[in-house]
Amino acid sequence: MDAWNHTTVLLNEAVDSLSGDSFTKPAQTYVDATFGRGGHSRAILSRIDETSRLIAFDKDPEAIAVANAIEDERFSIRHEGFAAISQLEGSSVAGILMDLGVSSPQIDNPARGFSFRAEGPLDMRMDTTRGQSAADFLATAPVEQIAEVIREFGEERFAFQVAKAIDARRQERGAIRTTRELAELVAGAVKTREAGQDPATRTFQALRIFVNAELEELGQALEASLEVLQPGGRLVVISFHSLEDRIVKQFIAKHSRDVVDRRAPFAPAKPMKLRSIGRVFPSSEEVARNPRARSAVMRVAERTQA
C-alpha cells in the first residue's frame, strides 16, 4: 500500500446492496467502476464464489498499480474511464458499483494538484497519462468559458469575478501554475465567506469536475448500465456532492416508471427498466471515524425484466 491511504466509505452497505442475493449464485459478473485503492473490490472478492468474477475500472495509473498487485484469477482491472462499461456484453452483469469522485490518496498527494491546502502543480487529472491539466485549461480558455465552468460545476456566485481575476493575472504575470496561486487569487475575488468553507472550495471542485469530464462520463455510464445489467442486477452509486447525486437521482427516477409515448397515447407504455431500492447515508459512527464520509449518499436500484 502506498503512503496515502483511502478509507472506504459505506463499505458493507455498498457490498450488501450490490449483492441483493446474487452472491449466493455461481458464475456471476460484477463491476467495480471506481477501484481507487480497492476497498470495495477486496470485500466483493471475499464474498463471491470461485466461479464468479469482478471487473474493475479506474482512470488513475496509481490505482491501476495497486490493482495489478491483486493476485486473484477472478479479478481484472482496466485503465479506462468507466463509461467503457458500455463495451461489456449486454445483460451480463449482476452488479455495478460506482464510488464517485476522488480518492484520499489523490487529494492528499500535493503533486496531484487537487487540494488548495497544499502547494503543488495545478494538475487535477485523475488520468495523468492523457488530457489537459487544470493549469493548461486556465492558461488558454476564453474568460467566458472559465466563468461558465466555475458557475456550472462549482455553483459559485462569483464565477465571473474569479474568471476575470484569472484572466487579468495571466495577462500581467503569465499563467497560474500552482494550487496556492489559484487559491489566493480566488480568495481575492470571492467577496463573501461561507462558514467552515475555504473560498477556493467551489472553484477547485468546478475545475476538477471539468478537467475529468466527471458529470458527462457519469451520465454515459448510467445509460450503459441499463444495457449491461442482467434482470435483477443491481446498480449502486455513491455520490459526494449534489451535482452528482442529482444526475443519479433523476436517472433512477426516469427509468423507474413506465413510459407513455405522448404521440401514441393508446399504445402500451414502455415498461420501467429500473426499480428504485432506496437511499443510504453513512452512520454517525462512520462519519466520526471518517469525516470524508459526511457528504456521501448512496442510491441503489435494480434492473427489471424490461
Closest approach of ligand SAM to the CB of residue 14, in Å: 8
Burial 128-151 (b: 16+ CB within 10 A, else e): beebebbbbbbbebeeeebbbbbb
Structure-block grid coordinates of residue 74: 477472478
Q: Measured from the CB atom, is 63 or 149 closer to ligand SAM?
A: 63
Closest approach of ligand SAM to the CB of residue 162, in Å: 25
Residue 107 interacts with ligand SAM (CB under 6 A)?
no
Reading across the β-sheet that carries 229-239, which strands appear in turn? 75-79, 53-58, 29-32, 93-99, 229-239, 297-303, 274-280
Closest approach of ligand SAM to the CB of residue 84, in Å: 8
Closest approach of ligand SAM to the CB of residue 304, in Å: 26
Q: Which of the residues 205 through 244 are near ligand SAM (CB under 6 A)?
A: 217
Q: Measured from the CB atom, is 23 or 82 closer to ligand SAM?
A: 82
Q: Measured from the CB atom, is 198 or 217 closer to ligand SAM?
A: 217
Residue 82 interacts with ligand SAM (CB under 6 A)?
yes
CA 108 to chain centre: 17
Q: Measured from the CB atom, is 82 or 158 closer to ligand SAM?
A: 82
Stretch that binds ligand SAM, among 101-109, 133-141, 187-195, 226-234 (CB under 6 A): 101-109
Q: Which of the residues 22 through 61 are near ligand SAM (CB under 6 A)?
A: 34, 36-40, 57-60
From 126, 176, 189, 280, residue interacting with ligand SAM (rule: CB under 6 A): 126
DSSP string for the chain: --SS--PPTTHHHHHHHHHTTGGGSSS-EEEES--TTSHHHHHHHHHS-TT-EEEEEES-HHHHHHHHT---TTEEEEES-GGGGGGSPTT-EEEEEEE-S--HHHHH-GGG---SSS--BS---SSTTSS--HHHHHHHS-HHHHHHHHHHHH--TTHHHHHHHHHHHHHHH----BHHHHHHHHHHH--S--TT--TTHHHHHHHHHHHTTHHHHHHHHHHHHHHHEEEEEEEEEEESSHHHHHHHHHHHHHHTS-B--TTSTTSPPBPPSEEEEEEE---HHHHHH-GGGTT-EEEEEEE---
Q: Measured from the CB atom, is 40 or 299 closer to ligand SAM?
A: 40
Q: Taking CB positions, which residue lies at the least distance from ligand SAM?
A: 36
Count of chain residues binding ligand SAM (CB under 6 A):
21
Q: Measured from the CB atom, is 83 or 186 closer to ligand SAM?
A: 83
Closest approach of ligand SAM to the CB of residue 38, in Å: 5
Residue 95 interacts with ligand SAM (CB under 6 A)?
no
From 17, 103, 115, 239, residue interacting with ligand SAM (rule: CB under 6 A): 103
Closest approach of ligand SAM to the CB of residue 294, in Å: 14
Binding residues for ligand SAM (CB under 6 A) = 6, 8, 34, 36-40, 57-60, 63, 81-82, 99, 101-103, 126, 217
